[in-house]
């Protein structure tokens, strides 16, 4: 019996890929496929999309994974189609219909209902979710027919608008904080209208400062002759933070983890305190926290920086 050929070693790939996740594929499965195409050693995604959902799934490779947490915390924007009149077990098309009601609502009633959900709200997480109770995901309990009490959690709906209404389908656009379940929002809108609802479709179009510009489908990625050329630089994840350019000597000290008193140096620094991007000769070194008196404390460092 012949021995198996050795596996091809993975490459050190750094960057961000904006993937258009297809329907029916989990975020993790999409990540695995992309990672295989790029032959990347290290990869991660920046917030799960349900299998039935599509759209923007930023994938981080190599050094970019150090900054993926920022997108997990970021606001997100979705376009959702709410199917009024039918309630399902999961709040979307993957569940079974458990209640059907007549739909007789006006655009004015819809606008009034949407207004109730703008701003800070409390939302009860769905049973069909990956949240855990006693080490077990809620969806596992749900599949066993067990319904547990869940505490409402505060989330913020920054923007909620009606895109189109053609009964029984209601298309909305929503920008929301981390932890918001758009499925639950759709169900709650249906309940507010008195007819019940579930999500028929969900598409994510923005994550933080990233949008669908330059997004690529999985099929196009698989067929691309040079997939590495599709990667955006690591600092694509950090575009909302001000930047600081260091001299060679300061850059060396920064990468050694030293705090720097930039107020004593001929370095241009932003007026506001907080997180900043750090560069030398145009190359990203990492992020730091700029404090009082322009004291810069290293935060996350790029290990491949010169």
Active site residue 50: yes
Nearest C-alpha neighbor of 297 from the set 278, 280, 281: 278
Phi and psi at 65, nearest 5°, equal -65, -20
Phi and psi at 46, nearest 5°, equal -120, 40
What DSSP string describes the chain?
Answer: -PPPPPPPPPB---EEEEEEEPTT--HHHHHHHHHHHHTBSSEEESS---TT-EEEEEEEEGGGGGGHHHHHSS-EEEEEEEEETEEESSSSTTS-EEEE------HHHHHHHHHTTSEEEEEPPPSSSS-EETTEEHHHHHHTT-------EEEEEEEEEEEEEETTEEEEEEEE-TT--HHHHHHHHHHHTTS-EEEEEEEEEEETTEESTT-EEHHHHHH-S-GGGGPBPGGGGGTTS-EEEPPHHHHHHHHTT--EEGGGTT----SS-EEEEEEETTEEEEEEEE-GGGEEEEEEE-TT--
- Rounded Cα gap, residues 185 and 77, in angstroms: 13
Given the residues 20, 50, 92, 188, the one annotated as active site = 50
Contact 96, 154 (CB under 8 A): no
Active site residues: 50
């Amino acid at each position: 019996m012949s021995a198996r050929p050795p596996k091809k070693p993975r490459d050190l790939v750094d960057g961000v890929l904006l993937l258009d996740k297809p329907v029916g594929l989990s975020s993790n499965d999409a990540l695995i496929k992309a990672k295989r195409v790029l032959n990347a050693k290290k990869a991660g995604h920046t917030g799960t999309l349900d299998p039935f959902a599509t759209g923007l799934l930023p994938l981080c490779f190599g050094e970019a994974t150090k900054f993926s947490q920022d997108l997990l915390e970021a606001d997100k924007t979705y376009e959702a189609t709410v199917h009024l009149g039918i309630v399902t077990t999961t709040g979307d098309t993957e569940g079974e219909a458990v209640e059907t009601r007549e739909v007789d609502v006006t655009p004015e009633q819809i606008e009034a209902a949407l207004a109730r959900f703008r701003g800070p709200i409390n939302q009860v997480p769905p049973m069909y979710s990956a949240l855990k109770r006693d080490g077990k995901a809620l969806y596992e309990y749900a599949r066993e027919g067990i319904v547990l009490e869940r505490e409402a959690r505060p989330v913020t709906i920054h923007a909620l608008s009606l895109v189109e209404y053609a009964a029984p389908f209601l298309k909305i656009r929503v920008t929301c904080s981390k932890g918001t379940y758009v499925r639950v929002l759709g169900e709650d809108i249906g309940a507010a209208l008195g007819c019940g609802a579930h999500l028929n479709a969900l598409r994510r179009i923005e994550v933080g400062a990233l949008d669908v510009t330059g997004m690529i489908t999985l099929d196009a990625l698989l067929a691309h002759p040079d997939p590495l050329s599709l990667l955006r630089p690591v600092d694509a994840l950090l575009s909302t933070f001000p930047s600081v350019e260091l001299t060679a000597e300061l850059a060396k000290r920064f990468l050694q983890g030293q705090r720097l008193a930039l107020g004593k140096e001929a370095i241009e620094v932003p007026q506001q305190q907080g997180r900043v991007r750090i560069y030398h000769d145009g190359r990203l070194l990492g992020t730091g926290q700029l404090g009082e008196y322009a004291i810069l404390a290293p935060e996350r460092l790029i290990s491949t920086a010169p």
